[in-house]
Structure 1
Amino acid sequence: MRTATVARRTAETGISATVNLDGTGVYRVATGIGFLDHMIEQLSRHSLIDIDLEVKGDLHVDQHHTTEDSAIALGQAIAKALGEKRGIVRYGTAYAPMDETLTRVAIDISGRPFLVWKSEFTQEKIGELDTELIDHWFQSFGGEVGMTLHVETLYGKNNHHICESIFKACARALRQAVEIDPRKADAIPSTKGTLGGQA
């Protein structure tokens, strides 16, 4: 089983993150931000990656450190569980409709972090989550996993639906990308033989 645990402690947050890439989408998420919990639960359920994430953050200041550091720790745990990425499919693409909204996400676990973000929100908060932190969460998460991540909401109006479709599309694409390819289960999917730089 490809599992990993990361403990992250700073003056701003204390985090424990455990993942199982070969799980069934079982989760326990407690960040102190209800809507963020809901989104990470969606990520777990639809990627089939088991996630146990607990965050104690300085929410008396604002949500920035808690949101950012939850993404960093979770991304680090997934990267650790992937190891040298031997046998993974590497690429994943998914569309996630949610009522009037449709989002497309494409992933390459390349070792080259890069985010293309084409999604917008028309309100400052969803629940208690600051919407300006959503793309920052994906920037931090994708950077730690080491993946090229393209996110585009093709259309949509409801801010909750837009955000949830992003997380669900990311989850489905991630599920594809981290799967073991039975035809190449012993190989690193790169002509360079490594996934850590140009590959």
Structure 2
Amino acid sequence: MRTGRVERRTKETEIMAEVNLDGQGRSDIATGIGFLDHMLDQLARHSLIDITCKAKGDLHIDYHHTTEDTGIALGEAVSKALGDRKGITRYGEATIPMDETLTRVALDASNRPYLIWKVGFSRDKLGEMDTELFKEWFQAFAQNAGLTLHVENLYGENNHHIVESSFKALARALRQAVEIDPRKSDAIPSTKGTLGGSLEKEPAARKS
């Protein structure tokens, strides 16, 4: 089984994240942020990646540090599980409808992290969570999982649907990308013979 586990402790958060890329989509999530828990459950369920994520953060300040650091830890766990990325399909794409909303995600598990985020919201908050934090989560996850990740909301009105379709599209695209290609299970999917390249992986940006 391709698994990865990360324990991350800072003055702001304590997080344990564990993934099994060859799982059944099981989840055990408790971040202290109800909406984020719901989205990570969707990520596990639709990617078929088993995800455990336990977080304690400075929620009395706001949800920023816990949201971002959860993305960092889960991304690191995925990267550990992928290892040298030998045999993976590498690319994934999904276009997910949710009622009036349509969102597209395309990704390359290239170990060259980059995020394109074309998602807008008409509200500042969903429940008690700032909508601007969803970009922070996707940025942290892409950076630390080593994904070139493009997320585009094509249209939609309901902000909940926009966020949820983004996570579901990520899940389905990730499921494709990390699956082992039976025709090339012994090969790195790159003409260079390695995934990564000249772009050094930088720590995810911390915003205060």
TM-score for both structures, normalised by structure 1: 0.98
Residue 96 of structure 1: CA displacement? 0.6
Give the letter for the 1:13 counterpart.
T
Give the match for residue 105 of structure 2.
Answer: 105
Give the letter for the 2:148 counterpart.
T
Q: Is the 8 A contact 1:30 1:54 kept in 2?
A: yes
Is it true that 1:44 corresponds to 2:82 in the alignment?
A: no
Residue-by-residue CA offset, 1:129-154 (whole Å, 9 max, x unaligned) = 11010011100000001110000011
Q: Secondary structure at the match of 1:46?
A: helix
Is it true that 1:12 corresponds to 2:12 in the alignment?
A: yes
Is it true that 1:182 corresponds to 2:182 in the alignment?
A: yes
Query: Gapped runs of 5+ residues in structure 2?
Result: 200-208
Give the match for residue 132 of structure 1.
Answer: 132
Q: Distance in 2 between matches of 1:28 and 1:108?
A: 27
Q: Distance in 2 between matches of 1:18 and 1:52?
A: 5
Give the match for residue 120 of structure 1.
Answer: 120
Give the match for residue 74 of structure 2.
Answer: 74
Q: Is the 8 A contact 1:107 1:147 kept in 2?
A: yes
Give the letter for the 1:173 counterpart.
A
Q: Distance in 1 between matches of 2:198 and 2:89?
A: 17
**Aligned residue pairs, count:** 199
Residue 171 of structure 1: CA displacement? 0.3
Q: Distance in 1 between matches of 2:128 and 2:182?
A: 43
Give the match for residue 32 of structure 1.
Answer: 32
Give the letter for the 1:38 counterpart.
H
Residue 124 of structure 1: CA displacement? 1.0
Query: Gapped runs of 5+ residues in structure 1?
Result: none
Give the letter for the 1:159 counterpart.
N
Residue-by-residue CA offset, 1:137-179 (whole Å, 9 max, x unaligned) = 1000000011100000110000000000000000000000000
Residue 196 of structure 1: CA displacement? 1.7
Q: Distance in 2 between matches of 1:33 and 1:109?
A: 28
Q: Secondary structure at the match of 1:186?
A: coil
Give the match for residue 158 of structure 1.
Answer: 158
Give the match for residue 148 of structure 1.
Answer: 148
Residue 198 of structure 1: CA displacement? 5.0
> What is the RMSD of the two structures over their aligned residues, measured on CA atoms?
0.9
Give the letter for the 1:128 counterpart.
E
